[in-house]
């Protein structure tokens, strides 16, 4: 099963892309819930 997964990953790096762009996306340390409220007036136009 591992060989099949490695073969698939070589040809279509979907798992690596998922890890790089979605699951382990770097976030700033000071990012918190209040950033949502800072952007909300832009959505209310």
**Residue 7: left (phi > 0), alpha (psi -120 to 50), or beta?**
alpha
Q: How confident is the model at residue 45 (pLDDT cuts 50, 70, 90)?
A: low
What mean pLDDT is predicted for residues 1-24? 85
Higher-confidence residue of 25 and 6: namely 6
Given this model, what pLDDT does residue 43 score? Answer: 59
What whole-number distance in Å separates Cα of residue 32 and Cα of residue 28?
9
Which tens digit of pLDDT belongs to each residue from 21-43? 777 767 666 777 776 676 666 65
Higher-confidence residue of 10 and 39: namely 10
**pTM of the shown model:** 0.42
């Amino acid at each position: 099963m591992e060989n099949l997964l490695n073969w698939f990953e070589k040809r279509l790096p979907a798992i690596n892309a998922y890890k790089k762009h979605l699951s382990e996306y770097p976030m700033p340390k000071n990012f918190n819930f209040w950033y949502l409220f800072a952007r909300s007036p832009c959505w209310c136009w």
